[in-house]
A and B are shown apart, each in its own frame.
Chain A
Amino acid sequence: MNFDRIKEKLNVLADAAKYDVSCSSSGSKRKNSSDTLGDSSGMGICHTYTEDGRCVSLLKILLTNHCIFDCAYCVTRKSNDIKRVAFKVQEVVDLTMNFYRRNYIEGLFLSSGIFKDPDYTMERLVQVAKKLRLEERFNGYIHLKSIPGASDELMREAGLYADRLSVNIEIPTKEGLKLLAPEKKHSDFIKPMAKVRNEISQYKSEKKIIKSTPKYAPGGQSTQMIVGASGETDHQIIQTADFFYNQFKLKRVYYSGYVPISTDERLPQIGSAVPILRENRLYQADWLMRFYGFQANEIVNTDFPFLETDIDPKLAWALRNMHLFPVDVNTAEKEMLLRIPGVGTKSVFKILNARRFSRLNENHLTRIGIAMNRAQYFIKNVSIGNSFDLSPTNIKHKILVSGTSKYTEQLSPQLSLF
């Protein structure tokens, strides 16, 4: 192995791949058979974290950063004057194997710029996965990018070797896409996604009858949207996410605050802040949809098109629906427990178990780990100090002054000097 040359490529192609935020390595069912390498049947593992606080679970690289497209928001766009390199198939295989054997990673996340045409690119990606599975007998996690426009036949093959497939829609609205990536159409993204969805359900139903049916993308599909590049509202983003969760049975939608990388006038300029707070609120909203039983339009709708920045979306919803509170934790249904601000899914589980043995009081709830500073205003029979006025504005004020948000600086109306 020529380590210097590989190092150079690795640096360029990891740097170009890092704006894809997905790093999940969980949810697959690929078990190790005897005497092969790797296992991705359990939960994912983050092997390290970068200084931006993101988990590193997979070796996330592009096969190449050559690209025939010129999407304004993308760092590898054709018109960008950067160094272009490409990995050979075998080089990616060797890197993955050596990193995996040392317990650096859970597997590989391979994406690519589009060189020549979609099929040519997709074929190379599939080759890497195929080699890892068949020649190296690798059972670790493989996440491949679905290249928009690749043939159905290649997409079918990809799913046989990969644990997860994803295609990033990047821009949440059609108008935004037209402005920033005029060469691409919404349908380009939808087609491979639909193909994979259909294959997954077909393989699943065949597996019920014939046990030896191979696995097809057992980790499902995901996608990503860039936030803050095209002037979209939170309502549009959440609506789009909801559409993909329902129509395409996606496992995850990722939200990526736009990192300015271009002087293009259509986009936020270099030096403007990454919308990290907004991204965080979108993830909170996403969790509410996936784990807390919320409908998209309960969180944001035409009346409230943006998520509140100073409080989380669950608290915001509760304050808009005070007539449903306070809740009696000793009798309420699970669905309602999940809606109490400051009570998470694990606490709900503990409450449901514990209340079969004794009547729960404030003390129990605190020890179980509920965030009482928020929850106390929404639970029956807890002492709420001297606040007798339970109006939404009052509660919000009390919660905000009682805690310190990690975003205090960004929220403060006062400008600091430096």
Chain B
Amino acid sequence: MNVIYDGTLEGLFSVFYEIYAQKIKAPLIFKESVYQPALFEKAMHVETNSENAERVVKGIKKKAGKNFYQFFYAAHNDRDNIENDLFAYAKIILDSQQSRSTDYSNPFVLKVSQYGKSVGREKHRMEAFVRFRLTKDGIYFASIEPDFDVVPLIKKHFESRYQDQKWMIYDLKRDYGIYYDLQKTERIQITFNQNKIGILSTSPEIFSEEEMDFQELWANYFKSTNIESRKNMKLHLQHVPKRYWRYLSEKTVKV
């Protein structure tokens, strides 16, 4: 049976709940946005229910133990059709008496750990490559376009690091961000002029006078700390794949 949900994580976990509650056989899960109904095919729409979702998460968390994060990261991997692998994993975990979250001989446990790993890598890259620019009104601002929906996952890192400055990280692709105002961090949605706040923009209307000076200093430092006689572009690209260069002012600012 095809099961359709709204595309949110809560929605997905609500689906897991209904599959168990209604004993649905051989479920195939689809996001609303990608589902294309075929003739004579039955589909069930599951409404998002945060209470049910939470029960599912709690159950998996209890059984998976400290490996729960692998599943949780994997769930932020927004590639298509990942839902069914996630469900297969959840079923293995929930149906077994002993904890099987470390059973890497099982293809779904291994797969989920690998999906989780690629999300973890993107999360780490965003923590590393995000570059704040200081705005005129004293907010350290960064815009990003990550491969996966990692903003909820990087929140904690930036919170514990930047407690005495206002900052905002905005996902331009998914059109939402988080803003810390010295008290709390909130999810926000703003209509921007993308040309002015794009990933490396330093529009003088928005950013502080010294912003460009510091970017230049940083680019100078980047150049001076390189050892020319050890140049190794292959290794360089392995660490900083080209698609991440757009975050790095040191790569674009002329020195």
Contacts and interface: CB of A to CB of B under 8 A. Distances in A.
Contacts of B63: none
A303 interface: no
B240 A48 contact: yes
A107 to B, nearest CB: 11
Interface string A350-380: 1001111110100010011000000000000
Given A3-B217, A45-B127, A50 B225 contact: yes
A102 B134 contact: yes
B236 A51 contact: yes
Nearest to B111: A367
A408 to B, nearest CB: 12
Nearest to B96: A357
Given A45-B127, A46-B128, A53-B232, A18 B227 contact: yes
A51 B233 contact: yes
Interface string B120-146: 000010011111111000001010000
Q: Considering residues B210, B213, B233, which has the most beta carbons from chain A within 10 angstroms of its beta carbon?
A: B213
A357 B104 CA distance: 9
A1 B234 CA distance: 38
A98 B134 CA distance: 10
Contacts of B223: 11
Interface residues of B, number: 55
Interface string A26-64: 000001101111110110011111111111100110000
B235 A53 contact: yes
B50 interface: no
B220 A99 contact: no
B103 interface: yes
Contacts of B51: none
A243 B203 CA distance: 55
A103 interface: yes
A3 B216 contact: yes
A17 interface: yes
A18 B224 contact: yes
A252 interface: no
A215 interface: no
A56 B225 contact: yes
B18 interface: no
A10 B230 contact: no
Contacts of B194: none
Nearest to B251: A48
Interface stretch (B6-14, B19-27, B158-166): B158-166
B193 interface: no
B226 interface: yes
Given A36-B163, A52-B227, 20 more contacts: A6-B217, A15-B224, A18-B225, A32-B163, A35-B164, A37-B161, A38-B161, A48-B240, A49-B236, A50-B236, A53-B236, A54-B227, A98-B214, A99-B217, A103-B142, A276-B232, A350-B104, A353-B104, A360-B105, A367-B107
Contact of B221 (A14, A259, A357): A14
Contacts of B106: 357
B231 interface: yes
Contacts of A356: 102-103
A172 to B, nearest CB: 20
A52 B230 contact: yes
Given A3-B213, A10-B217, A358-B105, A259 B250 contact: no
Nearest to B107: A367
B162 A46 contact: no
Given A10-B217, A14-B221, A18-B224, A53 B239 contact: yes
Q: Considering residues A41, A48, A55, which has the most beta carbons from chain B within 10 angstroms of its beta carbon?
A: A48
A11 B224 contact: yes
Contacts of A259: 227, 229-230
A68 interface: no
A101 interface: yes
A85 interface: no
A53 B127 CA distance: 19
B218 interface: yes
B110 interface: yes
Q: Considering residues B160, B217, B222, which has the most beta carbons from chain A within 10 angstroms of its beta carbon?
A: B217
B230 A274 contact: yes
A195 B227 CA distance: 33
Contacts of A156: none
Contacts of B165: 37, 101
B105 A14 contact: no
A60 B110 contact: no
Contacts of B131: 102-104
B85 to A, nearest CB: 14
Q: Considering residues A12, A46, A49, A364, which has the most beta carbons from chain B within 10 angstroms of its beta carbon?
A: A49
A324 interface: no
B220 to A, nearest CB: 5
